[in-house]
Structure 1
Amino acid sequence: MLDEKKLSYYLTKSKSLENNFEKSTRIAILSSFTLNGIEEIFKVKCAEKKINCVTYLGGYNQYNQEILNSESKLYQFNPDIAFLILDTRSLLGDLWYSPYSLDAKQRKEFIEKKFEEIKNLIQTFMSISKSKLIISNFPIPTKSNYGIFETKSKFGFQKMIATLNEYLQDFISNLDPVYLFDMNGFVTRHGENNVFDPKQFLFGDIKISLDFIPHLTNDLIGYVIATLGLAKRCIVLDLDNTLWGGIVGEDGFDEIKLGSGPPGNAFVEFQKYLLGLYDRGILLAINSKNNPDDALEVIEKHPDMILRKKYFACMKINWNDKVSNMKEISEELNFGLENFVFIDDDPINREFMKSSLPQVLTVDLTPDPSKHVKILEEMNDFNVLKITYEDSKRGLMYSQQKERKDFEKLSSNLQDFLKNMELKVTIKKADNFTIPRISQLILKTNQFNLTTKRYSLEDIQKFSQDDNMLIGCAQVEDKFGDNGIAGAFIVQKNGTKEWILDTFLLSCRVMGREIEKSILGYIVKTAKDSGVEKIKANFIPTQKNKPIENFLPDCGFKKQDNSWIILLNETFQIPDFITVEEK
């Protein structure tokens, strides 16, 4: 279980938070029972991630009134994220102890009625608020008055709750702004007897023990991370005593601990879990003080090694210090240090990383390798609202990126390299398939991003239905493979003569290939075909978007007051080595 601090720590810490925030969010918490201290915990945990968190805690068991009244304080607060935490006892009322006072048909009708009530709450909330709504499912009690006969009962006590959870999950699965928090899983993971304290319940209707409210909040923070696009992108791993037991340079290839029996099987399990993260889009890299030949022999030839060389986007296996290696990995993968997680068994290396590069999330491993998987499972730093096609293929894309760089080194100059890359850009309109990726790019992209405006999935969906907006994206392919959707744009059609380039961005994976000019060329052509005379744009500089600083003037935009203007009475030249298609 996560080594979580006590509630008293958060109550004290919340009074003296440092004002060094980079993001902000407004969080509303509604519940059917008492959640003492949850506001303070949210504020402290968000502050640790440099998020300014403003909270609203609904009145005790007032969630129905708050949601159904369009003039309530909830809607006046205007949250970005709203959590609705419900419990099984409140749902069942007197049926908690006497569910079999109703026959099976009546129990089913009762559950269907409760589902309709919850469904109505969700639909009402969606009709009034633009906030994301995270609603909990219901813990399934482990005990029944019917004892061992419970499993023989037709639509019994436990089946009632399980069925309601199924109804809820099926309904929410098709609602983009609504997500399900697995409260049943939370209680199962931590133990019903731990989470529920009967004395606290009878004293103040506290249905989650005060000791476990920090654990609950930690899980809920995952939705904040996902909503703000702050998920980590790459896990950087040590090798000796991290991916295998022992030191290969001293113990040798045959004596390291990696295999079907303990303790080697703990490292195999850890690698399997990491491979699962890789498959959903988390990059892996190596940062190891080691003899490269010894380490690579294990990676490529050991029969029990799960993570082969092809799974690592970058490998720094040398005798340099790990901070220097980490900086090089960041430069090579071309995204900021705040996107990395560092995992190393050596506490000295971890402290050195923490003190030198605090932007990197350094994970404290225990000496027991059997706990490594559990530590990663309890982290909330990899959460995203959608897992896209590009996510699932990200590891492969970065492997192909290495081939591109090797090919570039063999080219005599940049123009020859680009001409031989067989670049193809496919412009796609915003639809149900592309909108999740467009939103993901807008939330994450920092470097080649004209304004760094952040729009949610729901914002993009709304824009796509507006005839006065042009929303699109660009899929980029070359001779080495498919980069996926790597660019996005939002254009405001400001009347018939002038369009405004609201958002324009490009993934760092495809920077330096003049892809941006082909995308802009499509926008210019579309504007001309619509009779537009000029396109207006703004560049909003940040600490991270210097790579796009010269984009507008390089493409023919002229500075006019505080904006950039391009007149469309001249031909806009798209690079001749890029094939552009529209879909």
Structure 2
Amino acid sequence: MEGLLQTALAASWPVKHYLMDSGPHDHVPLLSAEDFDGVLVQLTLRSLLSMVAENGDGDLFHLRADVDWSDLRERAGQQLQNQVQRILAALPDGLPVFFLGFLEPMPRINGLLGRNRQNSLYALIRHLNDALEEALAVQHRAFYLELNDLRLHYGDSTAYDGYVTHFTHGGMRSSRQGDLIHLGILEKVQAALQILRGDQQVKLIITDLDNTLWKGVLAELDEIIPLEVTEGWPLGYAEALLACKARGILLAICSKNEDISTRENFAKVWGSRLRLEDFCAVHISWQPKSQAIAQILAETNLLPEYVLFIDDNPLEIAEVSHAYPQMRTLSGDPEQWRHLLLYAVETQVAHVSAESARRTELVQAKKQRDAAAENMDRAAWLESLQLTLQVETVTDGRHPRYARALELLNKTNQFNTTGRRWSDAELQNWLAAGGVLLAVSTQDRFAPHGLIALALLQSNAIMQMVLSCRVFGLGIETALLAEAVRQIQAGGHDEFLGHFSATGRNDACRDFWPEQGLVWDAEQSLWRGSVAPEWPTWIRP
């Protein structure tokens, strides 16, 4: 950690360093969440092992013939978990905490022909890294940061001190490689903080097909051999697309081709590896791509600035960019696309909620809902949805819906009455000061939609309301307001207040308060109301 500190100071990073041992009674520094963006923790491997190894030997125990590796793994994992819990309990809620993984020794500790992957120090430390990641996975504010991938990237022959001293020291030497690894750690922390803030996150990737998702133009081939057109960078690109989908990013296709034959060729080329069902929208036609993308945006209810369009043809990129200058695009060398999709800050998330994991399914359910609306009047359509709604009250960060609520609060743009973004620390402090968060989950006959709306209450004020764009037009915002007013009135208030701030992207809720009967107070710059709206008859509580 000393070398990391020196690298940070040399690069003018605003850091403060606290040296502590990893023992069960060592003091954890008292910090204020307002003073820091995050905390980086590097546990001392040697200290941890000395607490579980025979006779307190945390250095050379692994070379003894009588080591009970199974028992050692279990006790070391439990001790590690205890240390993590102790450190997190001492740090303020809402402050992101990043734990660095342990440096893993070279796999050949037991010699070229020895058993290195089982019952060895190498295997034990790999297990501890797995245990550390697992322990942190259930914490919404703590995260595991991999260190060993940086060693692979930069090399460690002059950096890892296990080449010259005992393995359990697990440190880095001062060297060019060491400096690069330390800088890589700092860049990871910076990227992680950006991910937590949700800076310019990509919510939808629209991809071309020919020379993009496969090599060549399939319609011009006499014979399509799947291996020839997908092996290499196309398969890597497809893998990256599916990785993004697993993170909750929507995928769509926009291609200039004959629709039916292209769909048949897609199935022939990709088989079960990649399916059209993996895409929330598929537009294959000869219309200008900007027009097809307009339809995709309407189907997904997304703003263009949250979309990434990928096409090998610079003319198509130019045409779409002219229509949507806010939209991000990617072209050029296709071998570079995979890396950007996998590792760019804009395509990563801190947590994958149940709602995020099912986002493609939920958009497809919205399309089914919209299609059903075309064949009946609005009242009959709403009644046919069999819409149910559940309201949960969140008062602290331990609530199981808190993480998803924070995600929705910071990702919602169109129906967001103030547009405010909250850090974990800010929201937890607000709740601790008496704020209440109402979280709404819904389900209709097409799909369960999960948590899709929020209201933030403070005394008699509705500080902020947000609603997912997937459920616009169903009256859910009215039901949420009715419940919010009920709770405000139950607290002894006759009047309730609503806040609105124009962001340039939240026109969808600009007229929400007056439509619900509230009156503008110009002096206080807020909306006032005293009568709760009627609960929508088609929504079952």
- Shorter chain as denominator, the TM-score bin is 0.7 to 0.9
TM-score computed with the length of structure 2 as normaliser: 0.79
Structure 1 unaligned segments of length 5 or more: list them.
1-30, 44-54, 494-498
Aligned to 1:429: 393
2:461 pairs with 491, 496, 500, which one? 500
Task: Confirm or deny that 1:480 pairs with 2:446.
Answer: yes
Structure 1, residues 269-293: CA drift from partner, whole Å, max 9, x if none? 6435533543442211012222223
**Are the structure 2 counterparts of residues 145 and 500 from structure 1 closer, same or farther at C-alpha, using a change threshold of 3 Å?**
same
Q: Distance in 2 between matches of 1:203 and 1:422?
A: 61
Could you tell me which of 173, 198, 223 is aligned with 2:137? 173
**Contact persistence 1:33–1:206 (CA under 8 A):** no
1:223-271 CA-to-partner distances (Å, cap 9, x unmatched) read 223311243211111111222232133226x42x52xx34534445643
Tell me which residue corresponds to 2:299. 332
Counterpart CA distance in 1 for 2:465 and 2:437 is 10
Aligned to 2:486: 525
Aligned to 2:362: 397
Give the C-alpha shift of residue 182 in structure 1.
1.4
Q: Which residue of 562, 569, 575 corresponds with 2:524?
A: 562
Range with bigger deviation, 504-513 or 145-154 = 145-154
Contact 2:110 / 2:116 at 8 angstroms: preserved in 1? no
Q: Does 1:285 align with 2:255?
A: no
For the Cα contact (< 8 Å) 2:388–2:539, is it kept in 1? Answer: yes
Contact 2:49 2:76 in 1 (8 A): no
**Structure 2 residue 204 is matched with structure 1 residue 234:** yes
1:129-148 pair list within 5 angstroms? 130-142=94-106, 146-148=110-112
Work out whether residues 287 and 317 of structure 1, in 8 Å CA contact, stay in contact via their aligned partners in 2: yes
CA positional deviation for 1:165: 2.5
How far apart are residue 408 of structure 1 and its match? 2.4
- When residues 471 and 290 of structure 1 are mapped into structure 2, their CA distance, relative to the original with a 3 A threshold, is same
Contact 2:455 2:466 in 1 (8 A): yes
Q: In structure 2, what residue type is equivalent to 1:578?
A: I
1:171 Cα deviation after fit:
3.7
1:153, 1:424 → 2: CA distance?
A: 52
* 1:233–1:340 contact (8 Å) kept in structure 2: yes
**Structure 1 residues 482-516: Cα deviation after superposition (integer angstroms, max 9, x where no partner):** 222110111112xxxxx111221101111122211
Corresponding residue for 1:223? 192
Whether the 8 Å CA contact 2:283–2:292 is kept in 1: the answer is yes
- Of residues 37, 40, 45, the one that matches 1:80 is 37
What do the CA deviations read for 1:121-173 (whole angstroms, capped 9, x no partner)? 8337514x742011210121215665347637996432453354245334433
Q: Aligned partners of 1:163 and 1:482: how far apart in 2?
A: 37
The answer for the alignment partner of 1:243 in structure 2 is 213
Contact 2:104 2:126 in 1 (8 A): yes
Aligned to 1:46: none
Give the alignment of 1:247-396 within 5 angstroms: 247-251=217-221, 254-255=223-224, 257-258=225-226, 261-266=227-232, 267-268=234-235, 270-299=237-266, 304=271, 306-350=273-317, 357=324, 359-364=326-331, 366-367=333-334, 373-374=338-339, 376-396=341-361
| Compared CA separation, residues 434 and 251, structure 1 to 2 (3 A) | same
User: Take 1:236 and 1:196, find their aligned partners in 2: how far apart are those partners?
Assistant: 43
Answer whether contact 1:64 1:121 (CA < 8 A) is retained: no
Take 1:415 and 1:116, find their aligned partners in 2: how far apart are those partners? 55
Residues 392-429 of structure 1, C-alpha deviations (whole Å, 9 max, x = no match): 211111111111222223335x4444344333222223
TM-score, normalised to structure 1, is 0.74
Residue number in structure 2 paired with 1:549: 510
Assess, with a 3 A threshold, how the Cα gap between structure 1 residues 207 and 96 changes in structure 2: closer, same or farther.
farther
Alignment partners' CA distance in 2, 1:126 and 1:316: 50
Q: What amino acid is the match of 2:538?
A: F
Offset from partner CA, 1:446-468 (integer Å, 9 cap, x none): 111112222345555566666x3
Q: Distance in 2 between matches of 1:564 and 1:181?
A: 44
Secondary structure of the structure 2 residue equivalent to 1:288: strand
Which residue matches 1:64? 20
Shift in Å, 1:443 = 0.9
Out of 572, 577, 582, the residue aligned to residue 533 of structure 2 is 572
Conserved? CA contact 2:4–2:182, under 8 Å: no
State the match for 2:88 in structure 1: 123
Residues 237 and 305 of structure 1: CA distance in aligned 2, closer, same or farther (over 3 Å): farther
How far residue 575 of structure 1 moved from its aligned partner, in angstroms, is 2.5
Cα shift at 1:477: 2.4
Offset, 1:87: 8.6
C-alpha distance in structure 2 between counterparts of 1:77 and 1:482, whole Å: 38
Could you tell me whether the CA contact under 8 Å between 2:159 and 2:173 is conserved in 1?
no
**Distance in 2 of aligned mates of 1:324 and 1:33:** 54
> Could you tell me how far apart the structure 2 residues matched to 1:156 and 1:478 are?
54
Match of 1:32 in 2: 2
What is the alpha-carbon distance in structure 2 between the residues aligned to residue 251 and residue 153 of structure 1?
Answer: 48
AA aligned opposite 1:56? P
Q: Give 1:205's aligned residue.
A: 174
Q: Secondary structure at the match of 2:91?
A: helix
SS for the counterpart of 1:491 is strand
- Higher mean alpha-carbon deviation, 542-551 vs 217-226, is at 217-226
Residue 386 (structure 1) shift: 1.9
Q: State the distance in 2 between where 1:195 and 1:118 align.
A: 27
Shift of 1:554: 0.9
In the alignment, residue 411 of structure 1 is paired with which amino acid?
M
Unaligned ranges ≥5, structure 2: 51-55, 165-170
Note closer, same or farther for the CA distance 1:511–1:97 as it changes in structure 2 (3 Å cut): closer
Cα 1:278–1:114 shift into 2, 3 Å? closer
2:496 pairs with 1:535? yes
In 2, the alpha carbon distance for the partners of 1:424 and 1:114 equals 45
CA distance in 1, matches of 2:278, 2:304: 20
Structure 2 residue aligned with 1:443: 410
Per the TM alignment, residue 520 of structure 1 is displaced from its structure 2 partner at its CA by 0.6
More strand by share: 1
Distance, in Å, in 1 between the alignment partners of 2:205 and 2:532 is 46
